[in-house]
Chains A and B, each alone.
Chain A
Amino acid sequence: MSGSDRRSANWVLWCGVPLLAGLHQDFWNWDDGRLLFGFLPVGLAYHAGYSLLAASFWAFVVAWCWPSRLEEWAGAVESEVPPRTEGTGGREDAKGGGA
């Protein structure tokens, strides 16, 4: 994906999350007590569908807005900085830190 495509895809992320947060409020179902398929309350059916929509949205984000450089960046340090003792406080520990 090119840089401009990536930026467009990121717009989907930054517009999609507020849109989904808005859809979550479904005030239009607030007092609707009907049953769908004879057993599923409308408000619960809506939010179950919302969970599926959220999963689909995240599938789209993962496919189109994936930060592919993050992986390289995470691994890049091995050649950039000297190795540290496993499992301690990183470079700050090596120099002692200080408030």
Chain B
Amino acid sequence: MTPEGGADLTPLTVILAYLGLLLVLGYWCKRRFSGTSSDYFVASRSIGSFLLLMSVFGTTMTAFALVGSTGKAYQLGIGVYGLMASSSGLVHSLVFFLVGMKLWAIGKREGFVTQIQYFRARLGSNLFGYLLFVVLVSLVIPYLLIGVVGAGAVVRGVTVGMFPDLFAGSPHPVTGQMLSVGAVPPWLTGLVICGVVLFYVFLGGLRGAAWANAFQTIVFMATGVIAFWLVSGKLGGLAAASRAVAENAPDHLTRENMIGQLQFLTYLLVPLSVGMFPHLFQHWLTARSARTFRLSIIAHPIFIMIVWVPCILLGIWAVGAGMQAPGGNANAVLGMLVGRLLHDPLLTGLLTAGILAAIMSSLDSQFVCLGSMFTHDIVLHLVRKDRFSDRQKVLLGRGFIVLVITITYLLSLLTPPNIFDLAVWCFSGFASLFPLVFAAVYWRRLTRAGAYASVLVMVATWIPLFYDGLILPTREHRLKDDYLVFGMMPVAIIFAASAAALVIVSLLTRPPEQRVVDRFFESART
């Protein structure tokens, strides 16, 4: 499928067909939508084990699981798997078991839809809800932007030369040479991606997102495995590909000189971020019962392994084969392997669809979640709730989802440099709020002042480290891969400060009323 004088359109056709399938799925979800606000925001708390596993896994895995893991392994070798993947297998399931199920039970008892509703009620403070709203939204927005910007970059990469008469490309900032001539520009990809996600979440709410996530998770898992198998064949087989690494880049087979031991240890804190992701909280609430969590808790580490091990091997094989990342961009290594070794437009299209699947399976939940937060934590909280019928609440939620998607899209057009580096900092922020949710669930003595102290100290330690680790190096053009403090991930400092503030201030202030606290604990004190 090649237009005269242009590049093969097959990859774009595959991508468009995939997006078309999502639209069909969205329409199917609309037919299952009951029309109630409970169905729209938490799928009537009716999601079963398999769908919960797929939707939670799809939501926690972003494009980084395919593209970033390959790129990081290309830079740092096999240690990336232990650093980011096997640690998540332990910690994510731990959080689902200890925190997720408890919050599901509390949410069901109290009729909560958002995380902020829980904290407001648990701490008896409206104002704390507003503070948390600002902090959570500030941390989620960069995470959303990464998805939209990432999709734009991926599609631009595979469509270079397809439409030279339509898209002139963009000039290189230094040389002025036109780059990506004829490629679909990121603004158009962002518009289409946002439009498709809007379609299925607008019609089906969180149920639509859950079904779309399940479908997309299957797509991106299958894509990674297929790419791995075909690329290994082109490199002469598994053994030959790995032998080349042993000969040409032996450092990539170990962690020595690649990752520090303290860095490796403190990275264990980063996956705790899932405990405070507002979109994951909302997915937990969709579970039909506590038993529904069982499959997610057990299968999550295995699913991570299925996606990450092939990508890590692909990353080190690229080094062993002497390949150079295009323009020094490690995130382009997976695309480069597929493009240079397979020369198959159909596979290129499928791989791109897989990457978009990983991106959209996170975007959709985040959009629904932010729409829910604006609806419940701001509007319905400020205005008497009986002023709105159930149908009006759904309309309000849909309106806010449209608003959130529009704002995200517009912000993606003005994306600052180093948006991908910002992601790790957002994760560190969420992880450093974990002491708050853990204490809220397990520690009766947590006070409102302790919660305020925890959040404010988190923000106060995060900002200077963020400035020193990202803003300043960007200005001075000396950005390194990993910013460490005394050899540790910055999250270790922020987490410790936030936890210490929570405990100390809670112990120094008057205990909360037992009557209020009893509502949130299984064994009420008498």
Contacts and interface: CB of A to CB of B under 8 A. Distances in A.
Question: Are A and B part of the same complex?
Answer: yes
Contacts of B101: 67, 70
B509 interface: no
B305 A52 contact: yes
B291 interface: yes
Nearest to B521: A73
Nearest to B293: A62
Contacts of A90: 110-112, 117, 121
Interface stretch (B83-91, B331-339, B416-424, B478-486): B83-91
B396 to A, nearest CB: 11
The 4 closest A-B pairs by CB, nearest first: A99-B127, A74-B105, A39-B238, A90-B110
A55 B89 contact: yes
A97 interface: yes
Given A38-B238, A55-B298, A87-B38, A17 B94 contact: yes
Contacts of B61: none
Given A30-B261, A58-B93, A52 B302 contact: yes
Contacts of B126: 97-99
Nearest to A20: B90
Interface residues of A, number: 55
Contact of B85 (A39, A51, A73): A51
Interface in A21-69: 21, 24-27, 29-35, 38-44, 47-48, 50-52, 54-55, 58-59, 61-62, 66-67, 69
A85 B385 contact: yes
Given A17-B94, A40-B242, A44-B81, A77 B290 contact: no
Interface string B106-123: 101111110001001100
23 contacts: A17-B90, A24-B82, A25-B261, A25-B265, A30-B261, A35-B246, A41-B316, A48-B81, A51-B89, A52-B301, A52-B302, A52-B305, A55-B89, A58-B93, A58-B97, A74-B104, A76-B109, A77-B108, A86-B37, A87-B113, A89-B376, A90-B110, A90-B117
Given A24-B86, A51-B86, A88-B380, A75 B108 contact: yes
B134 to A, nearest CB: 15
A91 interface: yes
Interface in B107-148: 108-113, 117, 120-121, 124-128
Contacts of B381: 89, 93
B41 interface: yes
A35 B256 CA distance: 16
B79 interface: yes
B4 interface: no
- The B interface, classified by DSSP as helix, strand, loop or mixed, is helix
A71 B246 CA distance: 52
Contacts of A87: 37-38, 41-42, 111, 113, 376, 390, 393
Interface range on chain B (Cβ under 8 Å from partner): 35 or more
A48 B311 CA distance: 13
B38 A70 contact: no
Given A51-B305, A70-B102, A93-B385, A24 B87 contact: yes
Interface stretch (B50-58, B247-255, B362-370): B247-255
Contacts of A52: 301-302, 305
A34 B94 CA distance: 32
Secondary structure dominating the interface of A: helix
Contact of B121 (A51, A70, A91): A91
A1 to B, nearest CB: 15
B268 interface: yes
B90 A31 contact: no
Contacts of B445: none
B63 interface: no
Contact of A33 (B254, B264, B289): B254
A75 B105 CA distance: 8
A75 B301 CA distance: 30
A90 to B, nearest CB: 4
A32 B304 contact: no
Contacts of A31: 254-256
A30 B254 contact: yes
A26 to B, nearest CB: 7
A27 B242 contact: no
Residue among B36, B37, B90, B121 facing the most chain A CB atoms (10 A cut-off)? B90
Given A26-B82, A58-B93, A92-B121, A70 B302 contact: no
Nearest to B110: A90
B132 to A, nearest CB: 12
A89 B380 contact: yes
Given A38-B239, A55-B300, A87-B113, 11 more contacts: A17-B90, A24-B86, A41-B78, A55-B302, A67-B101, A71-B290, A86-B36, A88-B385, A89-B376, A93-B380, A93-B381
A51 B89 CA distance: 6
Given A52-B305, A70-B102, A24 B268 contact: yes
B444 interface: no
Nearest to A93: B385
Q: Which of A44, A61, A77 has the most CB of B within 10 A?
A: A44
B242 A38 contact: yes
Contact of A43 (B110, B253, B301): B253
Contacts of B93: 54, 58
Contacts of A99: 125-128, 448
A33 B435 CA distance: 38
B476 interface: no
A84 interface: yes
B353 interface: no
Nearest to B45: A74
Contacts of A25: 261, 264-265
Nearest to B117: A89
